[in-house]
Amino acid sequence: MQIDKRLILWIVFAVSLIVLWNDWMVANGKQSLFSAQPPAKVAQAPNPAKPNDLPTAATTAPASAVPGSTAPGAPAPAAPVQTQVITITTDVMKAEIDTAGGVIRRLELLKYHDKVDPTKHQLLFETNGPRVYVAQTGLTGTSAAGVLPNHNTPFTARPGPRTLDNGNQVQLVLDAEQGGVRLTKTFTFKRNDYVIDVRHDVTNLTQAPVAPSLYFQLEHDGLKPEGDTFFNSSYTGPTLWTPEEHYQKLTFDKITKGTADYAKKANDGWIAISQHFFVSAFIPPEKAPRDIYTKALGNNLFAIGAVEPLGTIAPGATVSNAARLYSGPQVQKLLEKVTPGLDLVRDYAWAAIIAKPIFATMNWLHSMIGNWGWTIMAFTILIKLLFFPLSAAGYRSMAKMKTVTPKMQAIRERYKSDPAKMQQATMELYKAEKINPLGGCLPIVVQMPVFLALYWVLQAAVEMRGATWLWIPDLTLKDPFFILPVLYAISMFITQRLNPQPADPVQAKMMMFMPLAFSVMFLFFPSGLVLYWVVNNLISMAQQYIITKKFAPAK
């Protein structure tokens, strides 16, 4: 039975590794190890708004924002139009909007630093060589006078303030006329807010009714984020939420192959590009029918968007549409306030049911302590107190087992040629001594769900991004000096010495090798997770030492 207990311990660790690997695969858009490959479903293009068909590239996506390109079906411009890039600065962001199309082409988050270069701010939208990430809006359809204003049409900016200064909001108003329709875009930036209000006013300047549709599109390249590694990989790609289908994650690969399966029509919800710790999401007006699309644009560029019919606009009439664009960190309390389902981009995978209360508890502790490293230590102590009865029972079983080791050795010697009798005699010994042979596994088993959920908390909680503790610059990244993995190995080695040693020499060597194997694995894990396990081991060692000493036979 001693061997069985050790095997169970190994199985627990092995299953944990497999679960972590599977979660990493799923988080990066790969097939789960535990589910069969579903039959491929080809994404269908949404039905275009009638009576105007969407432009050629916009039946599944509007035209790509490639410099110098024109909307499909639009005539080449007669002469170059002077455009400019306007910078809007608030207390939390700096946005650059190009009057060529009214496209948000660059956005800095002023309170977050870049993962690779901490001297720079975190960039969401950008157009830098192969890196393309932009937010685009425009009209689809035509009138008797031609193609309507879209995200390639030159706009004119109205004068006004460009910084927040002492006010609570700053607006940028852009106007364009094309195809007999005037489109006015109004971007409203507010103090201490990552939500940008995006209002579209559409005026029919012709003598005949028009029926345009308004599209919202996020375009992104298919490259991996900078600093992304095998052991610290994260998901980047299109996501969406509808009341019927709820939260859905897509991958650039499936969009390319035409196998991305997602909700194509909705009356509510949002579309987004999600990445590690951050998200940009267009939130169209509520209770407004829209078609949702994705598109591979070529040159490793992809788009996700929504198209909303604006109905028939009479000559001289104006129709308005008030949407929002959230572009900022995945802070749970902020996402919950913006719109239903947006907090789901903070993806805890299968561990959400445990991870959410864990983070809520840690956030409460952090509000009093003020440092995430010490918060993790306090949380570890809290967990140890919560599981104290189970852990104590397990350590008592191990302590008792250590006292009867000579008797077990004698049984093995006596019945070494008869395994059945050896098993029977061992079980009788356990019964007589009131020992639970599996009790030693309890301290590990009860910790594994917390350990796995904490892994996902550290992967998803932007609140801990850049959190320092002593020598560690970021608790969501690996320990730069590998001090914590070494401390883990030492603590595990001492713990092994406190446990009853296996009689089998081969098994004893395997158990001695286990701390080294897990220390190597922890070299690449978030340092906050390793800190939790080190503190957990230190408390367990003290608890185990006291209980073992209590049950030790008198000399």
The domains located in the chain, with CATH, are 2-26+355-551 (no CATH), 41-345 (2.70.98.90)
Angle at 156 between CA 153 and CA 160, to 5 degrees: 145
Residue 140's beta-bridge partner residues? Answer: 213
Residue 298's pLDDT is: 92
Cα 201 to the center of its chain, rounded Å: 35
User: Highest-confidence range of 30-44, 95-109, 477-491, 523-537, by mean pLDDT?
Assistant: 95-109
Least confident of 180-189, 473-482, 511-520: 511-520
- Report the candidate in 351, 439, 362 with the shortest Cα–Cα distance to residue 402: 439
Instruction: Say how far apart CA 354 and CA 450 lie, in whole Å.
Output: 7
> Using CA atoms in the order 34, 38, 42, 47, what is the torsion angle rounded to 10 degrees?
-90
pLDDT band per the 50, 70, 90 thresholds, residue 11:
low
Instruction: Say how far apart CA 220 and CA 133 lie, in whole Å.
Output: 4
Higher pLDDT: 453 or 552? It is 453
Residue 424's pLDDT is: 79
Least confident of 88-102, 243-257, 325-339, 501-515: 501-515
Q: Which residues contact 322 (CB under 8 A, 6 or more apart)?
A: 197, 198, 199, 285
DSSP, collapsed to helix, strand or coil, labels residue 115 as coil
Residue 352's pLDDT is: 83
Q: What is the pLDDT of residues 34-57, one digit of tens each?
A: 444 443 333 333 333 333 343 333
State the residue for tokens 């959920």.
453
Buried b or exposed e, range 398-421, using 16+ CB within 10 angstroms: bbbbbebeeebeebeeebeeeeee
Which secondary-structure segment (H or E) carries 490?
helix 483-498
Phi and psi at residue 538, to the nearest 5°: -65, -45
For the cut 70, the answer to whether the pLDDT of residue 498 exceeds it is: no
Cα 322 to the center of its chain, rounded Å: 28
pLDDT band per the 50, 70, 90 thresholds, residue 359:
very high
Q: Residue 303 is encoded by which pair of tokens?
A: 């788009």
CB 55 within 8 A of CB 73: yes
Least confident of 137-141, 258-262, 456-460: 456-460
The pLDDT mean for the chain works out to: 81
- For the sheet containing 169-178, what is the strand order? 156-157, 169-178, 181-190, 195-204, 318-329, 278-283, 270-275, 237-242, 246-249
Phi and psi at residue 246, to the nearest 5°: 60, -145
- In order of 122, 240, 308, 439, 459, the CA distances from 322 in angstroms are 27, 19, 12, 61, 34
Instruction: Say how far apart CA 507 and CA 401 lie, in whole Å.
Output: 17
Instruction: Say how far apart CA 269 and CA 253 lie, in whole Å.
Output: 24
CB 217 within 8 A of CB 65: no
For the cut 50, the answer to whether the pLDDT of residue 60 exceeds it is: no
Mean pLDDT for 503-515 is 61
**Percent of the chain scoring above 90 in pLDDT:** 50
For the cut 60, the answer to whether the pLDDT of residue 19 exceeds it is: no
Pairing type for strands 270-275 and 237-242 reads: antiparallel
Q: Residue 495 is encoded by which pair of tokens?
A: 């713990």
Higher pLDDT: 166 or 481? It is 481
Least confident of 122-136, 162-176, 211-225, 338-352: 338-352
Q: Which residues contact 331 (CB under 8 A, 6 or more apart)?
A: 462, 463
Query: Which residue type does 552 have?
Result: A
Instruction: Say how far apart CA 449 and CA 455 lie, in whole Å.
Output: 10
CA count, 13 A, side-chain hemisphere, 536: 24
Instruction: Say how far apart CA 304 and CA 273 lie, in whole Å.
Output: 8
- Report the candidate in 446, 456, 523 with the shortest Cα–Cα distance to residue 488: 523
Mean pLDDT for 51-70 is 36
Mean pLDDT for 334-340 is 94
Instruction: Say how far apart CA 1 and CA 438 lie, in whole Å.
Output: 9
Cα 275 to the center of its chain, rounded Å: 6
Instruction: Say how far apart CA 317 and CA 306 lie, in whole Å.
Output: 24
Residue 426's pLDDT is: 75
For the cut 90, the answer to whether the pLDDT of residue 226 exceeds it is: no
Mean pLDDT for 323-337 is 95
For the cut 70, the answer to whether the pLDDT of residue 364 exceeds it is: yes
For the cut 60, the answer to whether the pLDDT of residue 9 exceeds it is: no
Q: What is the pLDDT of residues 244-262, one digit of tens each?
A: 999 999 999 999 999 999 9
Q: What is the pLDDT of residues 269-283, one digit of tens each?
A: 999 999 999 999 999
Q: Which residues contact 159 (CB under 8 A, 6 or more apart)?
A: none
Instruction: Say how far apart CA 77 and CA 458 lie, in whole Å.
Output: 51
Residue 540's pLDDT is: 81
Q: What is the pLDDT of residues 192-202, one digit of tens each?
A: 999 999 999 99
Residue 185's beta-bridge partner residues? Answer: 174, 200
Query: Which residue type does 128 have?
Result: N
Cα 159 to the center of its chain, rounded Å: 39
Q: Residue 252 is encoded by which pair of tokens?
A: 């650039």
Mean pLDDT for 49-69 is 36
Q: Which residues contact 439 (CB under 8 A, 6 or more apart)?
A: 393, 394, 396, 397, 398
pTM summary value: 0.78
Mean pLDDT for 531-542 is 87
Q: Residue 409 is encoded by which pair of tokens?
A: 């050795």
pLDDT band per the 50, 70, 90 thresholds, residue 518:
confident
Q: Residue 396 is encoded by which pair of tokens?
A: 């008592």
Least confident of 17-21, 154-158, 161-165, 315-319: 17-21
